[in-house]
Amino acid sequence: MKLNFLIAPDFSPERFAGWHMLNTVLQRRSGLHLHLLTPASAHEQTQCLQADQADIVYANPFDATDMIRTQGYIPFARPAKRYDEMVIATGAESGLRCVEDLRPGCSIALTENKDVKLIGLRLLEPADLTEQLISWCPVDSYQAAARKAIKGETQAAFFLADAYASLTRMTRSQLHVLVESAISDISHVLLVHPRHGEQVPVIAKAFFGIGSEPGDADLLEALGLPNGFEPMTAEEADFMIDLMDTLLD
């Protein structure tokens, strides 16, 4: 039986090889035939999900909330000690030094990551900025968002914190962080389609074993997840979903 393993399209390009390495190791240790799907955009991911092509999904918390609630996907794991924090940054030469320096009508570059936008809007509350008071500049990648801010084409940009940290040192030297979130309860989630519920123990065992054998540390480093994966119960997933609801209110 072939299982499609879909990865949310919000990882940095240098992590691409790591996901392929993980897929190979998981196949070898679980005996399952896994086919890796790496959609290039949120739109392409939606197409895969609507076509019912995803059996295992590494989903961002916003998408995971919908998939668990409306499609019955089963949460079983999350990255250990790795939370989805986000950064709001501006060009180093912009003269802006804190969130309160942003004014109504300001332009902000952002990718399609809805969870990043959701958290970012909360971080903008001290500036009395709502979604309607911002001129949004959609971009295809965090690198593109950084370029917009550095060139002064936007006043700021939204980043997943891990993506910001993975920018080159030269790029980060041309940016100034206005604020970084510290929620520590929101993370990506590993989900299994309900039609494969009986396979969860086998799949979970393979994921939780990553880090126990020689060479695994290099694999986890390539993924940017040095602590591997840990179990996530349905109750823990419900707590995260409730927190996402609070951020939406």
Give the whole-angstrom CA distance, residue 144 versus residue 148. 6
Could you tell me if 50 and 91 lie in one domain?
A: no
φ/ψ of 180, rounded to 5, equals: -130, 135
Could you tell me if 173 and 191 lie in one domain?
A: no
Q: Which of 136, 160, 180 is the endpoint of a domain?
A: 180
Give per-residue pLDDT as tens, 187-221.
Answer: 999 999 999 999 999 999 999 999 998 889 999 99
Residue with tokens 């979130």: 181
Could you tell me if 92 and 170 lie in one domain?
A: yes
Q: How many domains does the chain have?
A: 2
Could you tell me if 104 and 139 lie in one domain?
A: yes
CATH, residue 207: 3.40.190.10
Residue 154 has pLDDT above 90, yes or no: yes
Work out the percent of the chain whose per-residue pLDDT is above 90. 84
Which of 114-126 are b and which e, b meaning 16 or more Cβ less than 10 Å from the residue's Cβ? Answer: bbbbbbbbebbee
Could you tell me if 44 and 163 lie in one domain?
A: no
- The whole-number average pLDDT for the span 162-179 is 95
Q: How far is CA 196 from CA 33, 94, 123, 222, in A?
A: 13, 51, 39, 28
Could you tell me if 94 and 164 lie in one domain?
A: yes
Q: Are 211 and 54 in contact (CB under 8 A)?
A: no
Q: Are 183 and 83 in contact (CB under 8 A)?
A: yes
What is the extent of the structural domain holding 56? Answer: 2-82+185-248
